[in-house]
A = this chain, B = another copy of it.
């Protein structure tokens, strides 16, 4: 059964993930060969700094000319773990043109240019796989795209960024403020020197675009995803959350509208009940909750980043793509036939937790309640706490559209008796 001519793999990038991919390809070569039906051979490794010592990698395979490597013509699979838009995009396109299939872990690129890359893959009859682009080692793309292919997915809600989950978990468990928790995450290597991509939720937004596209068979661009970072979350917010039996997570939420005719994708901090399975996801772990018509509620949990976990996802794709090449088939490519419109954030319907600083005098609550009513936002609970002539008013609403809520808040800010809007946070998972 076993073919003896090896499948040739070009590895683009040999950092934290790439070096693990190379290591496992070497140490598990026999197992990979058995599972694929042919040996796989590391045919070249493109790097930026060739002088760096890379344990276990034949120096003769190392090159700085990634383009020449993907153009060789004898490469079966290109594994792209460089990250970023260029040169990754050009290299992937070139790979397809020269007959290779591609495995990528590049969420930013796939969220931005997924449609063009999928089109190039189809044009050349090749595979583009990217399990590692979302939630690291957690099998998620394949379950959504294949296991649930006969079901109708209505919601994907997840913790898809380990750095911010580590920070929020730390704030929750120790009462630390944002900066203190970020400093600890940086010291422990969970946050990069410039944490913007994580804490401003650019990373999570890219993953949300990819997940929404797969879940709803609809093209969802990065620009379609509403994005709100978590740098404004305070210790006071966590105290408020605890008061209502909740914690705070940075969530990526992809939803089908109740009428099924449109979808939304968003990333923002939100309160979720402590009883929700996502509430107990600790540290840098990721977890994604999926709701579908027939399957009901599913959850996928695991390490969302790191060299070895990401390499596990890359290698799972590598085995699948190699098997497809041997059988002359391709796996399921992009499925965007549903082409549902992506609605703006204003159309999203959810609940809200609003903290107001108000004057502590009679009639204030009536004024505030009137503003909510005028905007069609129904109030669930109100809690008022007075202190030194001032009072804080915490309002939790029933489900309302984001547009209605925004209108409500604008009107509240104009009230003389409202000194300020201390925080607005969405409440999910109920």
Chain B contacts for A377, CB-based, 8 A: none
Tell me which of A146, A150, A320, A323 has the highest count of chain B C-beta atoms within 10 A of its own C-beta: A150
Task: Tell me which residues across on chain B come within 8 A of A332, comparing CB atoms.
Answer: 35, 323
Cβ of A343 within 8 Å of any chain B Cβ, yes or no, is no
Asked whether, in the complex, the Cβ of A151 is within 8 Å of the Cβ of B316, the reply is yes
Type the 1/0 row for A135-165, where 1 means its CB is closer than 8 Å to any CB of B.
0011100110011111110000000000000
Q: How far is the CB of A165 from chain B (nearest CB, A)?
A: 15
Query: How far apart are the CA atoms of A27 and B297 in the complex, in Å?
Result: 21
Count identical subunits in the complex: 2
Q: How far is the CA of A302 from the CA of B149 in the complex (A)?
A: 17
Show 25 residue pairs from A and B whose CB-CB distance is below 8 angstroms, ordered by the A residue.
A24-B151, A24-B294, A34-B337, A34-B338, A137-B294, A137-B295, A139-B147, A139-B148, A142-B142, A142-B146, A142-B147, A146-B316, A149-B316, A149-B319, A150-B318, A293-B308, A293-B312, A294-B315, A296-B309, A297-B302, A297-B303, A298-B303, A299-B302, A301-B301, A327-B330
Question: Top 9 nearest A-B pairs by Cβ distance?
Answer: A150-B315, A139-B147, A137-B295, A139-B143, A329-B329, A294-B312, A298-B302, A295-B312, A149-B319
Does A152 lie within 8 Å of B323, measured CB to CB? no
Instruction: Indicate whether A198 reaches chain B with its CB closer than 8 angstroms.
Output: no
Could you tell me the distance in whole angstroms from the C-beta of A290 to the nearest C-beta in chain B?
Answer: 8
Q: Considering the chains assembled together, what is the distance between the CA atoms of A315 and B35 in angstroms?
A: 25
Interface contact B297-A312, CB-CB below 8 Å? no
Contacts of A149 in B (CB 8 A): 35, 315-316, 319-320
- Residues of chain A from 268 to 325 with CB closer than 8 A to chain B in the complex: 277, 280, 292-303, 306, 308-309, 311-320, 323-324
B residues less than 8 Å from A151 (CB atoms): 24, 312, 315-316
A131 sits at the interface (CB 8 A): yes
**A24-B150, A34-B335 are known contacts. Are A294 and B320 too (CB-CB below 8 A)?**
no
A294, A327, A335 — which one has the most chain B CB atoms within 10 A of its CB?
A294
Taking CB atoms, residues of chain B closer than 8 Å to A31 are 152, 217, 338
User: What are the residues of chain B within 8 A of A150 when measuring CB–CB?
Assistant: 24, 28, 32, 35, 311-312, 314-319
Please tell me if A328 contacts chain B, counting CB pairs below 8 Å: yes
User: Using a CB-CB cutoff of 8 Å, which residues 2-46 of chain A contact chain B?
Assistant: 20, 24, 28, 31-32, 34-35
Q: How far is the CA of A329 from the CA of B315 in the complex (A)?
A: 21
Residue of B nearest to A287 (CB): B299
Judge whether A299 and B296 touch: CB under 8 Å: no
Smallest CB separation, A375 vs chain B (Å): 37
Q: Chain B nearest CB: distance from A16 CB in Å?
A: 13
- How many Å lie between the Cα of A317 and that of B151 in the bound state? 11
Question: Which one of B293, B295, B306 contacts A313 once the chains associate, using CB atoms below 8 Å?
Answer: B295
* A137 adjacent to B298 (CB under 8 Å): yes
Q: Which residues of B contact A148 (CB under 8 A)?
A: 139, 312, 316
The reply to whether B294 and A309 contact each other, CB–CB distance below 8 Å, is yes
Query: Chain A, 98-123, contact with B by CB distance < 8 Å: what is the 0/1 string?
Result: 00000000000000000000000000
Q: Determine the chain B residues whose CB is within 8 A of the CB of A34 once the complex forms.
A: 217, 335, 337-338
Which partner residue on chain B sits nearest A316 by CB separation? Answer: B147
